[in-house]
């Protein structure tokens, strides 16, 4: 299994502080059944801005330590890129890593809003051949209150990434319910742990999949894991049309609206 979203590098952002802690998280990943991880430190975040070169150097060191310990885990470069009006310029200047050298990248929205210029940025990037994967939309307050915002972004060509802890209730019941609702509406396409540490922000990767199995969403489990592999292979994702029956109760609002 492939983990699409993780914070594994030490002293990079709000992830582990030491390489020893990074290795403990790597060992926990193997216990979860994860064989490959994309490392996605924050970029253009208000508090964290990890440069490409730092990721390259530390990933090489960490992968070497993992191999010396005979741990069956492959690491890939990536970034979790915060939405900014300069995103197209940053991409053209090759300032951030896409996911595992693919034409996909992880896009983080602000926690409480979907800014009015989001659609313009998504259209511009798609025109450049780059597909945004929106990180943990189920934790965005505006999307929780009005999921049609996410539906519109998906119809524009963006795809999404659901976080394991959201399914398990780690972020509360509201986020958990939103996760399932978005999944049933065909608005979720990939899956990641967003692991930061082994205490307050653990993997919960397998636990999240088990939750979906209990809900009878076995096809969703297969779809998410298959799409994760397709991202790493730089292949088209398996995407179903948003479910109108599920979405009809959602009312249309302009991106960036306060209501």
| Domain-wise residue ranges, the chain | 2-247
What's the pLDDT tens digit per position in 186-215? 999 999 999 999 999 999 999 999 999 999
Based on the number of CB atoms within 10 Å of its own CB, is 85 exposed (0-12), middle (13-18) or buried (19 or more)? exposed
**Rounded mean pLDDT of 210-222?**
95
* Residue 46 confidence (pLDDT): 87
**Rounded mean pLDDT of 154-172?**
97
**Over 60: is that where the pLDDT of 247 sits?**
no
Cβ atoms of 11 and 3 closer than 8 Å: no
Please report where in the chains the tokens 């802690």 appear, as a residue. Answer: 21
* Residue 48 confidence (pLDDT): 86
**Rounded mean pLDDT of 30-51?**
95
pTM: 0.93
- 3-state SS assignment for residue 192: strand
Which of the four pLDDT bands, split at 50, 70 and 90, describes residue 251? very low
* Residue 253 confidence (pLDDT): 42
Cβ atoms of 85 and 111 closer than 8 Å: no
Q: What sign results for the dihedral spanned by CA atoms 202, 203, 206, 210? A: positive
Cβ atoms of 130 and 103 closer than 8 Å: yes
Instruction: Tell me the two tokens of residue 124.
Output: 């511009």
The overall average pLDDT reported for the chain is 93
The CATH topology of domain 2-247 is TIM Barrel (3.20.20)
């Amino acid at each position: 299994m492939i983990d699409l979203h993780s914070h594994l590098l030490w002293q990079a952002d709000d992830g582990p502080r030491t390489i020893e802690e990074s290795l403990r998280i790597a060992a926990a990943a193997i216990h979860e059944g994860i064989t490959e991880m994309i490392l996605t430190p924050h970029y253009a975040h208000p508090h964290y801005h990890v440069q490409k070169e730092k990721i390259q150097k530390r990933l090489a060191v960490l992968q070497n330590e993992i191999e010396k310990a005979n741990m069956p885990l492959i690491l890939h470069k990536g970034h979790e890129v915060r939405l900014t009006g300069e995103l197209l310029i940053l991409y053209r200047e090759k300032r951030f890593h896409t996911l595992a050298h693919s034409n996909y990248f992880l896009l983080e929205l602000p926690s409480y809003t979907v800014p009015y210029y989001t659609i313009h940025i998504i259209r511009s990037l798609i025109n450049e051949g780059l597909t945004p994967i929106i990180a943990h939309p189920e934790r965005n307050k505006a999307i929780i209150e009005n999921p049609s915002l996410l539906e519109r972004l998906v119809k524009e060509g963006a795809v999404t990434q659901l976080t394991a802890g959201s399914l398990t209730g780690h972020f509360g019941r509201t986020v958990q319910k939103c996760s399932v609702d978005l999944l049933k509406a065909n608005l979720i396409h990939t899956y990641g742990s967003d692991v930061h540490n082994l205490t307050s922000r653990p993997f919960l990767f397998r636990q999240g999949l088990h939750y979906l199995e209990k809900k009878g969403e076995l096809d969703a489990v297969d779809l998410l894991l298959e799409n994760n592999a397709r991202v790493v292979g730089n292949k088209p994702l398996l995407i179903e049309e948003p479910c109108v029956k599920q979405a009809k109760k959602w009312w249309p609002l302009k991106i960036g609206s306060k209501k």
